């Protein structure tokens, strides 16, 4: 199992900087997701900035989330 999210910061270019419980920091690009289903709402930059760590992953107020394994494996 990959490490879980400890903290997250939204960046201006629709990326998020994630620090994992093992101390690693990665940047994950949300841009490819922004035209699909529940993620369309994230195009609103004010809403995008509301991302928070939640139960080992990330989440926005209306429940959008990304699997923590995806964040870890695909993060740069």
3-state class (DSSP) for residue 25: strand
The model's pLDDT over 27-61, given as tens digits with 9 standing for 90+, comes to 999 999 999 999 999 999 999 999 999 999 999 99
Which of 29, 26, 24, 36 shows the shortest CA–CA distance to 12? 29
User: Residues of the chain with pLDDT > 90: what percent?
Assistant: 97
Q: How many CB atoms lie within 10 A of CB 53?
A: 16
For 58, the domain range is 5-74
Q: Which residues contact 22 (CB under 8 A, 6 or more apart)?
A: 3
Residue 56 is part of a domain; what is its CATH number? Answer: 3.30.2020.10
pTM of this structure: 0.93
**What total of structural domains would you count in the chain?**
1
Cβ-contact 50, 44 below 8 angstroms: no
pLDDT band for position 1 (cuts 50, 70, 90): confident
What local confidence, expressed as pLDDT, does residue 17 receive?
99
């Amino acid at each position: 199992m990959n490490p879980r999210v400890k903290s997250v910061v939204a960046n201006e270019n629709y990326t998020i900087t994630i620090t994992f419980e093992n101390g690693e920091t990665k940047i994950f690009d949300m841009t490819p997701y922004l035209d699909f289903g529940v993620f369309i709402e994230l195009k609103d930059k004010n809403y995008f900035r509301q991302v928070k760590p939640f139960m080992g992953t990330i989440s926005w107020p209306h429940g959008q989330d990304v699997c923590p394994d995806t964040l870890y494996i695909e993060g740069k």
